[in-house]
Amino acid sequence: MAGSDPRQLLIVVDALTQSIERWLYSFASAEENVRRGLQDAQDAGRQLLDQTRQAREAVEDLQSRTAAATERVDVTRSDSDKALALAQKADRRALDAIGRGQTRLAEWQAGLARAEESLALAQRLLAEAQRQLAAAQAMLAAAQYELSSAGSALTACLSSYTVDQQGNRHYRNCSGERARVERAQAAVHAAQHEVAVARTRVDMAAARVARARAVVQRCQAGLDKAGRLLTDARANRLLTGDALQLGLEAHAVADQAAHRLQLAADEVAHLDQLAGQAESFAASTADLIAAAADQLPALAAHLQEHQEQGAQGRLDLELTELQLRQFDRADGL
Amino acid sequence: MSVSFALEQIVRRLDDSSTLLLYHSRTAEHDYGEAGHLWRDRRGTSFIRRFAVPMVDSFPRIGAIVADQGRHLRLAQPKAGEAETAIARILGMHDVVVQALSEVIGLTDQAQHLAAAATGRAHEGAAKAETILAGLSALGLPPAPEA
């Protein structure tokens, strides 16, 4: 230490000692701070991985729910398709029934018109037959009257005579009256025949009228039945129309469910991607934290080395200080 | 507290530590330099060579380690933020999607109910149509009037 002021060196040694202490304290403090910081970072990294796992579980839960909903929507769409197809078929059948009912009603209306025409014709024929019968009957009555008159004339003729002077009765020649009676009888027979013929015609015409009336009645009954069936068919169309409307609504609601399911499924797919990204980012975060933590041993080794060097240095400085103080005392400082 | 925010805080603490280390390393370097200037004898030279120089030489390596650790965490922080944003979106949307799927199930229930009603009415209507058609067929054509 020749050439150096021992007092100044003591100050230097003391300052060095303090500097080493400050450095080592600062280094140890920083190392501890870094260690705790990295421990906190590792905790945060684990927390992030935990949150990522929860997010993945949430996505898996949504995927499971989406799969269940998809199955249900598929069944519902199938059921609503079947219901709509059934309703459409029933509605077509109901329309077919209405069409056939209208045709049948028209057929029976035409049939009734024809039957009524036929009845009218039969009634006209009956009236004509009745008129002919009445005429025949009038002719018969006239012939009978003529016969009666002819008979009376003949009787009168036969009972009339003249008495001549001798007192002899002279009866009249009644051949003319007799001939009249015979003609009248022939006329009565002929008239009776005409009446019988006319009555037969009346009976036949009446029978035809009865048959025509029966046909009219059957046509009216058939028309009534066709009308009722058409009314039923129209009422049934309301039912199948209702079924068709319900089927269309079911189809529309099922479509809406499928559309909303698709939106949800798209969102779930997006969330699945996000979960993958979160896992990737969380893994990168954990890797980076681990990379930072991996350097802690190197830092600790430096600290250890500095502490050992510091301890050696302090010993060296203490020895120097001791020697300086001995030197100072020897010099009477 | 979010992981990203926690990492940000940790990075700040590491930055503080790094700054303090840098400050103290420069102070120590200055102290050793000054001591080397003032303490020029053999012992002083030996002390500086044996203790001060190795320490000072290792300061950049120590600083580099802490800086590298900070750099890693600084890189980790936005990634954690991205992960947390994605996680928050997932967890936030979970209930929304569950609600949406619940509504889907509700719609399927409604559709099933409508389909069942449509099927019932369709069967009833079809059966009635067949009965009506059979009645019309049985009714046949009107009788032809007498010529």
pLDDT of A289-323, one tens digit each? 999 999 999 999 999 998 998 899 899 889 888 88
| Contacts (Cβ under 8 Å, ≥6 apart) of A196 | none
Q: Count CB neighbours of A238 within 10 A.
A: 12
Q: CB distance from B134 to chain A under 8 Å? A: no
Q: What is the CB-side half-sphere exposure of residue A289 using CA atoms within 13 A?
A: 33
- Give the pLDDT band (50/70/90) at residue A130: very high
On the question of pLDDT at B104 being above 70, the answer is yes
Q: What ipTM, to 2 d.p.?
A: 0.86
Instruction: Judge whether A278 and A54 are in contact, CB under 8 Å.
Output: no
The DSSP symbol for B142 reads P
Structure tokens at B100: 């949406």
Chain B partners within 8 Å of A83 (Cβ): 114-116, 118-119, 122
- Computed over every residue of chain B, the mean pLDDT equals 93
The residue behind tokens 């014709």 is A121
Q: Which residues contact A316 (CB under 8 A, 6 or more apart)?
A: B47, B50, B51
Chain A within 8 Å of B128 (Cβ-Cβ)? yes
pLDDT of A36 over the 60 cut: yes
**Quick one: how far is CA B90 from the chain centroid?**
7
Question: Residue A294 has which token pair?
Answer: 């991996």
Q: Note the pLDDT of residue A325.
A: 81
Residue of A nearest to B105 (CA): A69
Q: How far apart are the first and last CA of chain B?
A: 107
Give the integer Cα–Cα distance in Å for A188 and A183: 9
Predicted confidence (pLDDT) per residue in A139-181, tens digit: 999 999 999 999 999 999 999 999 999 989 898 899 999 999 9
pLDDT at position A332 is 46
DSSP B48: I
Give me the count of residues in chain B. Answer: 147
Count the Cβ atoms, other than its own, within 10 Å of residue A106.
12
Three-state SS for B53-78 is HHHHHHHHHHHHHHHHHHHHHHHHHH
Reported as a single tens digit per residue, the pLDDT across A207-217 is: 999 999 999 99
Interface test with A, best of B2, B29, B109, B136 (most A CBs within 10 A): B136
Domains along the sequence of chain A with CATH: 6-330 (1.10.287.950)
Burial class (CB in 10 A: 0-12, 13-18, 19+), A112: buried
Instruction: Please report which confidence band the pLDDT of residue A4 belongs to, taking 50, 70 and 90 as the band edges.
Output: low
User: Nearest 5 degrees, angle CA A229-CA A234-CA A239?
Assistant: 120
User: Is the CB of residue B92 less than 8 Å away from at least one CB of chain A?
Assistant: no
Mean pLDDT of B29-50: 87
* Cross-chain Cβ contact A306/B91 below 8 Å: no
The helix (H) or strand (E) run that includes residue A184 is helix A175-294
pLDDT digits (tens, 9 = 90+) for A250-299: 999 999 999 999 999 999 999 999 999 999 999 999 999 999 999 999 99
Q: Which of residues 184-243 of A touch B (CB under 8 A)?
A: 208, 211-212, 215, 218-219, 222, 225-226, 229, 232-233, 236, 239-240, 242-243
- pLDDT at residue A2, as a whole number: 41
Element of type H or E holding A162? strand A161-163
**Euclidean distance between CA atoms A69 and B104, whole angstroms:** 7
Q: HSE-up of A159 (CA within 13 Å, CB side)?
A: 6
Q: Are A272 and A59 in contact (CB under 8 A)?
A: yes
Contacts of A291 by beta carbon, 8 Å cutoff, 6+ apart: B72
Average pLDDT over residues A101-127: 97
Residue predicted with more confidence, B33 or A189: A189
Report chain A residues whose CB lies below 8 A from the CB of B24.
22-23, 26-27
Q: Which of B73, B86, B103 has the CB atom closest to A260's CB atom?
A: B103
Residues of A in contact with B135 (CB under 8 A): 225, 229
Q: Is residue B125 pLDDT above 50, yes or no? A: yes
Chain A CB within 8 Å of residue B60 CB: no
Give me A183's structure tokens.
């003609």
Query: B140 and A265 in contact (C-beta within 8 Å)?
Result: no
